[in-house]
Amino acid sequence: MEKPNKKQVLLFYCVESQELAHKISAQSDLIQLQSINWRSFDDGFPNLFINNAQDIRGQHVAFLASFSSPAVIFEQLSVIFALPRLFVASFTLVLPFFPTGSFERMEEEGDVATAFTMARILSNIPVSRGGPTSLVIYDIHALQERFYFGDHVLPLFETGMPLLKQRLHQLPDADNVVIAFPDDGAWKRFHKQLDHFPTVVCTKVREGDKRIVRLKEGDCAGRHVVIVDDLVQSGGTLIECQKVLAAHGATKVSAYVTHAVFPKRSWERFIHTDGENSNKAFEYFWITDSCAPTVKDIANKAPFEVLTLAGSIADALQI
């Protein structure tokens, strides 16, 4: 079957995503960056202007968003709701990290499932001349969240796992790598994408008032173990997993998460240090650039290494 001609895409982006936007445009001559004036009135509310608005009529348009905090979401939503109405041929929203994805359940009456709230907001993006908005999200916390979105958007769920696999094959000890999942949820989420690697699975058990990490299954003795999960917040679970794996004979422990949220600079717990209180528990800690503020903070700090989503996003914009 003959492939359709590739399309020219005009890519707008928020302030936080500027670096990633430039990396995406460098992947292809078919992606051209566009600009928005991100200004504010004296009262703090957005005063926004989409440059060259008339020139994007009939063009394929995309917006690279970063919902890193509630403070920046409203101004970006204002642009996201405006772009499809400018007579564009199609509209794609790239939201690498869906920030409320881990708040998808109600455990008792009164809990607010903000994952559903965010999905409903994005489902009301105006339809463009080309039809519903394409919504690109990477490693959403729970796959069933696709059903939270309405018919006005077409969610495209991508993954950072190919980036990890490529990096693992570059390691000098690639043949000695074992994948570890910190819990059953991570195993269910990712094991099929990493099934050519041996695996171990950890679990959390309750002992009194504490939840303790234990090794549930698999053998990690003498191996380079890479813990894989979709996101990290405080990092406490990863640190406990590392201790358990090392106690069971792992010679090296590394970690990968697609979304390095790290609130309150919790990434500092992982930084390599020398001296009396040396900390080099993790050989590598791979993240993607889905969370722009973290990428800026951890630049050139071992053990962190950023695997960029730029190439994958550039490919997704051609779908």
Q: Please give the Cα distance from 81 to 126 (Å, whole number).
A: 6
Count the domains in the chain.
2
Residue 3 lies inside a defined structural domain of this protein: no
Give the end of a domain, one of 110, 134, 158: 158
For residue 243, the model assigns a pLDDT of 95
Residue 225 sits at φ, ψ, to 5 deg, of -100, 130
**Residue 47 bridge partners (DSSP):** 39
What are the φ/ψ torsions at residue 126 (nearest 5 degrees)?
Answer: -55, 145
Could you say which DSSP state residue 319 is in? -
Residue 210 is predicted with a pLDDT of 78
Clarify whether residues 167 and 130 are in a common domain.
no
Which pLDDT does position 3 carry in this prediction? 64
Do 191 and 269 share a domain, yes or no?
A: yes
Same domain, yes or no: 99 and 231? no
Tell whether 210 and 228 lie within a shared domain: yes
Amino acid at 257: V
Q: Are residues 125 and 239 in the same domain?
A: no
Are both 293 and 265 inside the same structural domain?
yes
Question: Does 2 map to a domain?
Answer: no
pLDDT of residue 275: 64
Q: Are residues 136 and 231 in the same domain?
A: no
State residue 206 phi and psi, 5-degree precision: -90, 125
Looking at the structure, do residues 154 and 45 belong to the same domain, yes or no?
yes
Same domain, 102 and 170: no
| CA 278 – CA 137 distance, rounded (Å) | 38
313 lies in a domain?
A: no
Predicted confidence at residue 279, as pLDDT, reads 75
The pLDDT, as a whole number, for residue 30 is 98
> In angstroms, rounded to a whole number, what is the distance separating the alpha carbons of residues 270 and 284?
10
Query: What is the DSSP pairing of strand 9-13 with strand 60-64?
Result: parallel
- Residue 316 inside a domain? The answer is no
Q: What is the pLDDT of residue 242?
A: 96
* Helix (H) or strand (E) segment spanning residue 168: helix 161-169
Please report the pLDDT score of residue 308 as a whole number.
98
CATH of the domain at 131: 3.40.50.2020
Provide the β-strand partners of residue 10.
32, 61
> Is 277 inside any structural domain?
yes
Asked if the structure places residue 77 within a domain, the reply is yes
- 317: in domain: no
pLDDT at position 317? 98
- Decide which of 158, 179, 206 is a domain's last residue: 158
Domain span including residue 197: 161-308
Blockwise average pLDDT, block size 10, the chain, 319 residues: 81 98 98 98 97 97 97 97 98 97 84 93 96 97 88 95 98 98 94 95 82 92 98 95 96 98 96 75 97 95 97 97
Domain boundary among 158, 174, 205: 158
Q: Are residues 152 and 166 in the same domain?
A: no
The pLDDT of residue 2? 59
Go through 63-94 and write b for each residue having 16 or more CB atoms within 10 A of its CB, e for each that does not: bbbbbbeeebbebbbebbeebbebebbbbbbb
Query: Is 201 a domain residue?
Result: yes
pTM of the predicted model as reported, rounded to 2 decimal places: 0.94
Whether residues 121 and 215 fall in one domain: no
Are both 255 and 280 inside the same structural domain?
yes
- For the chain, the first-to-last Cα distance in angstroms comes to 15
